[in-house]
Amino acid sequence: MADLRNKPLSWVNAPGPEEEAAFRVVDSSTGPQSGVQGGGVSTASCGGRILLVDDDPLILRSMLRLLQVERPRLSVVAVATAQLALDRLSEEKFDVMVTDLEMPGMRGEELLERAMLLDPTLTCVVHSNQVLCLPSELRAKLRATINKPASSAEICATLDDAIGRAEHLRDSLSWI
């Protein structure tokens, strides 16, 4: 697989032959792609939209594979830098952002603060081995933290909870 640092990847559940679920990985570095936004796959039919942010290509590939297998109704975009994450957040709506803390260029704490300013309804989860280093005021704004390494079950349960919170928040705001 190509180096993910400069090529954000995403996959969506797309109808395949005989209407069975099939997955496709698309190069999303040029912006929203068909099936990801405005291409006929809605957030409701996908089960939620997740933005994964980690500078380690192995982590991104592993998380994409895990979610593809365990949570096929999700629409997932993976990026390798905080700046790419902010670019995507300014262009698209996500329910949940999962980010590492230790990244070159911009640390995860700064990404979290800026992402929450861009979208105050964004549900944020930190996936890092530096979780205990988070300032308590920032930790209070997060939905959850996942220590690395984490089991597949722990990751899925945490993301299920985060997506549930995002859906509840979206439903609550729709009444306003």
User: Which parts of the chain have pLDDT scores under 50?
Assistant: 1-4, 7-8, 11-46
- How far apart CA 97 and CA 159 sit, in angstroms, is 10
- How far apart CA 109 and CA 77 sit, in angstroms, is 20
Contact 5, 13 (CB under 8 A): no
Q: What is the pTM of this model?
A: 0.74
Residue appearing with tokens 């590939």: 61
Contact 150, 127 (CB under 8 A): yes
Domains of the chain: 9-174 (3.40.50.2300)
pLDDT at position 163: 94
pLDDT at position 121: 92
- How far apart CA 136 and CA 148 sit, in angstroms, is 19
pLDDT at position 136: 86
pLDDT at position 145: 92
Q: Nearest CA to 131 among 144, 115, 118, 120?
A: 144
pLDDT at position 27: 36
pLDDT at position 175: 62
pLDDT digits (tens, 9 = 90+) for 15-43: 333 322 223 333 344 343 333 332 223 33
Contacts of 12 (CB under 8 A, 6+ apart): 23, 24, 35, 36, 41, 46, 75, 76
What are the CA-CA distances from residue 52 to residues 99, 173, 176 (Å)?
6, 24, 29
pLDDT at position 9: 53
